[in-house]
Amino acid sequence: NAGVTQTPKFRILKIGQSMTLQCTQDMNHNYMYWYRQDPGMGLKLIYYSVGAGITDKGEVPNGYNVSRSTTEDFPLRLELAAPSQTSVYFCASSTAGGNYEQYFGPGTRLTVT
Amino acid sequence: QKEVEQDPGPLSVPEGAIVSLNCTYSNSAFQYFMWYRQYSRKGPELLMYTYSSGNKEDGRFTAQVDKSSKYISLFIRDSQPSDSATYLCAMSADVGGNKLVFGAGTILRVKS
């Protein structure tokens, strides 16, 4: 039981490049989330999904896109990378129905130069 | 004004000390309160969860919520070097509890 896995662990992008951050969970959780964590700023919700085919914006969605074609996978797409997207990205999942524990992946450290 | 305020620290204490970590918030609709622990270069993990006001105890950890003051606390008794981590408060008004607002996190260092 791997929990929540994220790839890659590290990535350096040039300004204007695009990439997809991968997230997979094997706990059959309906809810999945993408956060970014900047130093001293806590976690900010980018997008979340309540089930396959359903996604919604969080607090900081600009510059990102998501899709949810399966229960297990929730990729985050960065289009036209900008230095402001330099951050640590965490994917998380949780069950529906009042379980408030979110299980986090190990994170992806992204630098845009 | 941020919805959730948390002193980033770092807070440095000797082993065995009682640690008090705190958050204040401005949104009176928050009713679900959590503390997450995050070790260096790892994802956060849930430590404590409380609903509405009151106290909750789990081993060396006690979570307190004072909704009238919009103030939550996490107490750690007999602190250990293994408690050294960043502690993030998180809260939600959402009835499903799935849209969390996080504090900035407090860095705790327990010296042996």
Using a pLDDT cut of 70, give the percent of chain A over it. Answer: 96
Using only C-alpha atoms, chain B has a radius of gyration, in whole angstroms, of 13
Which of the pair, B59 or B54, is modelled with greater confidence?
A: B59
- Average pLDDT in chain A: 93
Sequence-distant (≥ 6) Cβ neighbours of residue B61 within 8 angstroms: B35, B47, B48, B74, B75, B76, B77
What pLDDT is attached to residue B96?
62
- Ranges under pLDDT 70 in chain A: 96-100
Cβ B46–A101 below 8 Å, yes or no? yes
Respond yes or no on whether the N-terminal peptide bond of residue B14 is cis (omega within 30° of 0): no
- B97 phi/psi in degrees, rounded to 5: 70, 20
Q: B97: which chain A residues are within 8 Å (Cβ-Cβ)?
A: 98-100
Contact state of A42 with B104 under an 8 Å Cβ cutoff: yes
| DSSP summary character for residue A3 | -
Q: Cα-atom radius of gyration of chain A, to the nearest Å? A: 13
Band (B60; pLDDT cuts 50, 70, 90): very high
Q: Which residues of A touch B52 (CB under 8 A)?
A: none
* Cross-chain residue pair B100–A106, CB shorter than 8 Å: no
